[in-house]
Amino acid sequence: MKITALIAMGLMANLTHDPIPDISIGSSLPVGDHRMKDVSGKEIALKDVVGQKGLLVIFSCNTCPFVVGSDGSDGWEGRYPELVAYSQRMGVNVAFLNSNEAKREKGDGFGDMQERYKAQGLAGYYLYDQKHVVADAFGARTTPHVFLFNKDLKLVYKGAIDDNVAKAAEVKEPWLKNAISALASGSTIDPSTTRNIGCSIKRVHDH
């Protein structure tokens, strides 16, 4: 009995500290019906914007240096327009989600999203994930954190965009681009999981 109780307590402790899941390769698109406001002002559900070959979801923001860059680092955001253009050519639509609920007053509000989308020449959808509902369902942890789904809404790749946040010109492993290319051609995606790197998503229950 004691061992069982200890195991139960351990499980409860884990759930308390880290309640968000890790969705695995092959999982179905979570909360695909959940509607979010796009920077265009339209309400959009992810399942309604899937391309002919699939859907790329990138959790992003306006404030993290891994996204926007910093002294000595390009950041990944400058690669977004080319990535969206490439994805769309391959039949994959792209949705960026801003889930930084705890920073809405510090650069990640809806108006900030609209301004940045325009100023940076971004494309695809940029969706306001209120109270990080979608980020929680995906198990998204960082900005950026990438999830690629096929046309049947099954997860086929998750993790990082590539292997060099600092210098776009020095990327050796364009993991996401390779995954999109493989998805479009029906090839095996390898690797299907890479380690996401970035700032933590600023959830409202974070300290």
- Which residues of the chain are under the pLDDT cut of 50? 1, 3-17, 206-207
Q: Which fold has domain 25-200?
A: Glutaredoxin (3.40.30)
* Model pLDDT for residues 106-154, shown as the tens digit of each residue: 999 999 999 999 999 999 999 999 999 999 999 999 999 999 999 999 9
Predicted pLDDT at 94: 98
> Domain extents for the chain?
25-200
* pTM over cut 0.85: yes
Q: For every residue of the chain, which 3-state class applies, written as one string?
A: CHHHHHHHHHHHHHHHHCCCCCCCCCCECCCCCCEEEECCCCEEEHHHHCCCCEEEEEEECCCCHHHHCECCECCCHHHHHHHHHHHHHCCEEEEEEECCHHHCCCCCCHHHHHHHHHHCCCCCEEEECHHHHHHHHHCCCEECEEEEEECCCEEEEEECCCCCCCCHHHCCCCHHHHHHHHHHHCCCCCCCECCCCCEECCCCCCC
Q: What is the pLDDT of residue 20?
A: 77
Q: What pLDDT does residue 18 have?
A: 55
Helix axes 175-185, 80-89, angle to 10 degrees: 10
